[in-house]
Chains A and B, each alone.
Chain A
Amino acid sequence: MKPVRIHGIGVAGGFGTGRQAFEKALESGLPPPSLRVDLAALEAFQPARTLRRMDSFSRLALLGAHLALEDAGLEPKGQDGLGLIIASGHGATVTTAHALLDSMLAGDAFTSPIHFANSMHNACAANISLLMGATGPNLTVSQFDLSVPSALLTAHRWLREGRVERLLFGAVDEHSDLLEHLWRRQRGESQDPMRPLATRVESARPGEGAAFFLLSTKEETAPVYAAFESVTVGRGAPVIPSSPLRVLGADGRVELGKTYGAMAEGARIACFTPHYGSFPASPAFDMAAAALMLRRGHAFASPQGEANDTESTVLAADEALGTQGLSCLTWVPEGFGVVDLAISA
């Protein structure tokens, strides 16, 4: 079977817009002061009129999609046969809340048809496919914190089965007033920096962003970042990967600290969540950071890595990775996801 490779990375988060901005943030080791995304960069790709009926969630995803295609050297139109899979834990919360509130407060007759259409599960994927002429299959996967590994499992299978040769895989979640309200009720407000490797204290901060990847089994002209070894999703006790190099999806939520500690045991680890925050799509950013590390052959520093209280060694800035692959780990009480990436031949 042909290997599945990453040829393009498009990311937007609090750190800025684009792969270069993300790399710069990772190299600096300094998380951004704000974890919100500025969508202004989308104007460089699409005229405002085209975006008129597209909500903020779709715009965020569209920005990531454009950036990934640009990074892979592909045109954002006429993408015949391109598949698209989107992972999102929350979906279009701003639009959905708007549509539901209109309906509940004023009746169904007052529900905006545009908000209603944008609140549909696959609307964002449809918007992107239409704009880019992506005629391959498209799908949206929502499984809260496990959305990314679950969607990636399907993406990997489509590519391995030859159902598509190229696929745009994206993870997106937006923050909103509704989510902020729920976050504060559950976790309070914290101005402290995220310290995800200090597993016994709560330090999570809500983030948002889009991380897209151009995945392909074809020989592409764009350089390869990394190749997939395997994608595993399961329930119960997590499968501890054989690779001693691990990128943890720990995000400062204290209830997850113990298991991330177990996953880190004896390994050389990295954790980058302070650069983008805590949200269901964040494992895709872990994967982007891992792919960038594999291509450069050296590690990035983990922000607040000195706070590590697990039985592990935190990879130092610019530490050589050798020829081993990297495992990206996500764990929540509902299950786990492991994405094994390798240096591409």
Chain B
Amino acid sequence: MDTKTKLKHALADELNLPELKEATFDDDAPLFGQGLGLDSLDAVELVIVIQKHFGVEIKDMDESRSAFASINALAAYIDQRLAA
């Protein structure tokens, strides 16, 4: 399973967002605000889910801001960190 698919499944299950598993979901849609509609509590949850499922720790707020832009951005960020 590629990183993006694994990420979408993890977020769908942990954040109770079944729409992430739908084929029609736009992977470039913003995760926060308009788009998926996540908020600051979800941001904390996201950090934990990513560390738990991928072993990637997000500490830098500037990095996380761009990484949390969309599913595609987050998957790319995880791949980049895993390759480093």
Q: Across the interface, name the chain A residue whose C-beta is closest to B17.
A: A52
Q: CA–CA, A113 to B15, complex, Å? A: 11
The secondary-structure label for the interface of chain B is helix
Counting CB contacts under 8 A, is B16 at the interface? yes
A232 CB → nearest B CB, Å: 42
**A110-B45 CB under 8 A given contacts A52-B15, A52-B16:** no
B58 CB → nearest A CB, Å: 12
**Contact: A110 with B15, CB < 8 Å?**
no
B-side contacts of A53, CB under 8 Å: 16, 41
Q: Across the interface, name the chain B residue whose C-beta is closest to A106.
A: B52
Contact of B41 among A48, A51, A110, A114 (CB under 8 A): A114
Contact of B51 among A49, A51, A110, A114 (CB under 8 A): A110
**Contact: B45 with A112, CB < 8 Å?**
yes
Interface residues of B in 21-75 (CB under 8 A from A): 37, 41, 44-45, 48, 51-52
Counting CB contacts under 8 A, is A109 at the interface? yes
**A113-B52 CB under 8 A given contacts A52-B17, A53-B16:** no
Q: CA–CA, A75 to B32, complex, Å? A: 32
**Contact: A113 with B41, CB < 8 Å?**
yes
B-side contacts of A49, CB under 8 Å: 37
Q: CA–CA, A109 to B45, complex, Å? A: 10
A141 CB → nearest B CB, Å: 28
A: interface residue count bin: 10 to 19
B-side contacts of A51, CB under 8 Å: 16
**Contact: B16 with A112, CB < 8 Å?**
no
Q: CA–CA, A113 to B42, complex, Å? A: 9
Q: CA–CA, A110 to B53, complex, Å? A: 11
Q: Across the interface, name the chain A residue whose C-beta is closest to B49.
A: A112
A-side contacts of B18, CB under 8 Å: 48
**Contact: A109 with B48, CB < 8 Å?**
yes
Contact of B45 among A48, A106, A114 (CB under 8 A): A114
Q: CA–CA, A109 to B16, complex, Å? A: 20
**Contact: B17 with A112, CB < 8 Å?**
no
B-side contacts of A114, CB under 8 Å: 15, 41, 45
A316 CB → nearest B CB, Å: 48
A-side contacts of B17, CB under 8 Å: 52
B-side contacts of A109, CB under 8 Å: 48, 51
**Contact: B14 with A112, CB < 8 Å?**
yes
B8 CB → nearest A CB, Å: 16
Interface residues of A in 96-121 (CB under 8 A from B): 106, 109-114
Q: CA–CA, A53 to B17, complex, Å? A: 10
Q: CA–CA, A251 to B17, complex, Å? A: 39
B-side contacts of A48, CB under 8 Å: 18
A-side contacts of B14, CB under 8 Å: 112
| Sample (21) of A-B pairs whose CB atoms are under 8 Å apart | A48-B18, A49-B37, A51-B16, A52-B15, A52-B16, A52-B17, A53-B16, A53-B41, A109-B48, A109-B51, A110-B51, A110-B52, A111-B48, A112-B48, A113-B41, A113-B44, A113-B45, A113-B48, A114-B15, A114-B41, A114-B45
Name B residues whose Cβ lies closer than 8 Å to a Cβ of A.
Answer: 14-18, 37, 41, 44-45, 48, 51-52
- Beyond A53-B41, A109-B51, 15 extra complex contacts between A and B, CB < 8 Å: A49-B37, A51-B16, A52-B16, A52-B17, A53-B16, A106-B52, A109-B48, A110-B48, A110-B51, A112-B14, A112-B48, A113-B44, A113-B45, A113-B48, A114-B15
